[in-house]
Amino acid sequence: MTTIRITVADQSITAQLADHPTGQDLASLLPLTLTIRDFNGVEKIAKLPRPLTMEGVPAGDDPDLNDIGYYAPSNDLVFCYGEVGYFNGIVRIGRLSDQDTRLIERQPDGAQITIEQA
């Protein structure tokens, strides 16, 4: 697993990326600075600079609170802070470490988030 640091509003939290092709592909892009926005009142999303591989991962998933996902149809990184439900095209690629997504959840649309290896 790869440990990452997520910085937003001058505060940082850590997460672990999954040791599978999609998680490794995200790690290969780091560091990244992305713009987040709210989606359906249950997740914050950010457009990635290129699609991530979906090779070797399930066709869909039902992310939990504090999961980090990748939604392939729209090429978005997803931070789950509410009940998302099962969707085709989403894969869990990480999880916040012993913390929750409140810091990310509170950010307004257009906030910048930086992700780097810890």
The domain defined by 2-117 carries CATH number 3.40.50.300: no
**pLDDT at position 102:** 86
pTM of the model: 0.93
Q: Is the dihedral of CA 98, 67, 65, 14 positive or negative?
A: positive
Q: What does the alpha-carbon distance between residue 94 and residue 13 come to, in Å, rounded to a whole number?
A: 13
Res. 22: pLDDT tops 90:
yes
pLDDT of residue 101: 75
Q: Indicate the pairing of strand 67-71 with strand 87-88.
A: unpaired
- C-alpha 70/C-alpha 90 separation (Å) is 5
